[in-house]
Amino acid sequence: MATASVAFKSREDHRKQLELEEARKAGLAPAEVDEDGKEINPHIPQYMSSAPWYLNAERPSLKHQRKWKSDPNYTKSWYDRGAKIHQADKYRKGACENCGAMTHDSKSCMERPRKVGAKWTSMHIAPDEKIETFELDYDGKRDRWNGYDPATYARVIERYEARDEARRKFLKEQQLKKLEEKNNKQIEDAEVSDEDEDEDDLKVDEAKVDESKQMDFAKVEKRVRTTGGGSTGTVRNLRIREDTAKYLLNLDVNSAYYDPKTRSMREDPLPDADPNDKFYVGDNQNRISGQALDFKQLNVHAWEAFDKGQDIHMQAAPSQAELLYKNYKVIKEKLKSHTKDAILEKYGNAATEGNLPRELLLGQSERQVEYDRAGRIVKGLEMALPKSKYEEDVFINNHTSVWGSWWKDHQWGYKCCKQTIRNSYCTGAAGIEAAEAAADLMKSNIARKASSEDTPAPAEEKKLATWGSEIPDDIVLDQKKLTESLKKEDERRKEEKDERKRKYNVRWNDEVTAEDMEAYRMKKVHHDDPMKDFLN
């Protein structure tokens, strides 16, 4: 599809056409209409080179296009951010249980969770938010800047103007400072030309940037291979090639870990070696020494200042963050000195009233500390005792030592009175003597009781009978009864072999005599007897 473009004879005709369109938009000129009397939109091309054959149109048009006119229902407005519509005085049914607003529920509430919600307190009810729904067209849904307020860009302009003003002020101060130094010092003849060049450089317009600095803006350096994907910078290897590589210092597999990708070894590979003989102590040493600590404190200050509402960001504006940190340290020192002076002025300084001893003035002490050539402490430094969150040296019930300072017979106690009861009162040396006397008396009573008791007679070994009872010394078996018992045992064994001979009315006699037991023993079959098959 091709549209016919309108060609103007001159620039003046084009300008007049634009003025006519502006007047029509403002309502000062009549709108242009077509043959049917409909208003023509100047932003939509109204003619085509050829129309489809099935329309039977007398002239080209765009009526066959789908939705070729803009829909009046579409809107270009945007959400009214932060707008409130109603402020309730008490909780309403169906509102948010946390803040009390009707426009959302407790699950989607953006307010801080209250300890007791507004549903139960009916206090501090949050206002209802303004809920809007828009029907956007194709372009409106895909507009990245839809709802953006151009007035907010004034903040960015103000920030850059403030930075430029501070830069101009700093350059002017540096210029005045160098001019004063030049006037106060006598310049030698050999340095006259050099200082004239410096003066000429200072007179350069402050708004302009040096050509060398402009070249740095377009400078692209090679990326350094790092874990995070790389950053611009130069690679510098300070290790001498004759030195031993750090991963070869200790070949133990349990020693410091070496990462071949980043070429880093954080721990010390030789922790037990002499520090004077080591040239590498691990990459962690760089993190706790030098400017790394200052950079860490600078980051912490930037985070804390941002949380308190300061417009500061370490990565976006590092120079601003460092300048604010320097100002913060100066103000902190001034406040500390002011507080100290106020305390000294109010209470005085007892340290300066009397003359200090000569030993304290000279800083002498009996403690011996040894240092190596590098200034590191080798021997003699006392380790600081760690502080505990529990109470220490708290004495109760007139005790002079704490509970657990004494141990005896698997029991804890107090050392001052040697008592093992936790809530007892201290009795001092008298209580210790009384306890020792009571222990001695108890030991003597136990010894006296043990000596008074008669020693028991040794138990005689009793011989057991074959049926398991004790055999009296004067036992005499009746041969006649023994013969009868043997006969009864034979009959009983026959009944066991053939139960048909057992009578219906059987009387059992539980009284067993010594002859019966002897007969049972004599008739009993011993399975380990080699002659058992020849019995009976």
Q: At what angle do helices 479-497 and 514-523 cross, to 10 degrees?
A: 50
Task: Give 24's contacts (C-beta < 8 A, 6+ positions apart).
Answer: 30, 31, 32, 42
Count, residues in the chain: 536
- The residue with tokens 């009578």 is 503
Residues of the chain with pLDDT under 70: 1-11, 14, 23-73, 186-240, 351-366, 380-389, 454-474, 499-510, 535-536
Please answer whether residues 29 and 41 qualify as being in contact, where contact means their C-beta atoms are separated by less than 8 angstroms.
no
Please answer whether residues 397 and 424 qualify as being in contact, where contact means their C-beta atoms are separated by less than 8 angstroms.
yes
Task: Give 494's contacts (C-beta < 8 A, 6+ positions apart).
Answer: 501
Q: For residue 379, what are its two tokens?
A: 């021997």
Task: Give 62's contacts (C-beta < 8 A, 6+ positions apart).
Answer: 44, 45, 46, 48, 68
For the four alpha carbons of 296, 301, 304 and 310, in that order, the dihedral sign comes to negative
279 residue type, one letter? F
CA of 88: how far to CAs of 83, 85, 125, 200, 300, in Å?
Answer: 15, 10, 6, 71, 43
Give me the pLDDT at residue 331, please. 94
Q: How far apart are CA 255 and CA 259, in angstroms?
A: 13
- Label each residue of 53-81 as H, E or C: HHHCCCCCCCCCCCCCCCCCCCCCCCCCC
Helix (H) or strand (E) holding 345: helix 318-347
Q: Is residue 397 part of a domain?
A: yes
Domain that holds residue 56: 11-65
Q: How far apart are CA 207 and CA 164, in angstroms?
A: 9
Give me the pLDDT at residue 51, please. 59
Considering its fold, how many domains does the chain have in total?
3
Single out the residue in 278, 313, 347 at which a domain terminates.
347
Q: How far apart are CA 36 and CA 61, in angstroms?
A: 12
Cα atoms in the Cβ-side hemisphere of radius 13 Å centred on 442: 6
Please answer whether residues 358 and 346 qualify as being in contact, where contact means their C-beta atoms are separated by less than 8 angstroms.
no
Q: Is residue 135 part of a domain?
A: no
Please answer whether residues 353 and 361 qualify as being in contact, where contact means their C-beta atoms are separated by less than 8 angstroms.
no
Determine if residue 393 is left, alpha or beta; phi over 0 gives left, psi from -120 to 50 gives alpha, anything else beta: left
For residue 413, how many other CB atoms are within 10 A of its CB? 20
Strands (E), 423-484: none
At 381, is the secondary structure helix, strand, or coil?
coil
- The residue with tokens 């008396």 is 441
Give me the pLDDT at residue 151, please. 87
User: What would the pLDDT profile of 203-222 be if each residue is shown by its tens digit?
Assistant: 544 444 444 444 444 444 44
Q: How far apart are CA 206 and CA 176, in angstroms?
A: 13
- Label each residue of 467-523 as H, E or C: CCCECCCCCCCCHHHHHHHHHHHHHHHHHHHCHHHCCCCCCCCCCCCHHHHHHHHHH
Q: Is residue 512 part of a domain?
A: no
At 113, is the secondary structure helix, strand, or coil?
coil
pTM (two decimals)? 0.24
Q: Is residue 490 part of a domain?
A: no
Q: Is residue 399 part of a domain?
A: yes
Give me the pLDDT at residue 71, please. 66
Q: Is residue 404 part of a domain?
A: yes
**In terms of DSSP bridges, do strands 128-129 and 84-86 run parallel, antiparallel, or are they unpaired?**
antiparallel
Q: Is residue 333 part of a domain?
A: yes
User: What would the pLDDT profile of 38-93 be if each residue is shown by its tens digit?
Assistant: 555 555 444 444 556 666 666 656 665 555 566 666 777 788 888 899 999 999 99
Q: At what angle do helices 291-307 and 318-347 cross, to 10 degrees?
A: 90
Q: Is residue 42 part of a domain?
A: yes
Q: How far apart are CA 6 and CA 14, in angstroms?
A: 10
Give me the pLDDT at residue 207, please. 42
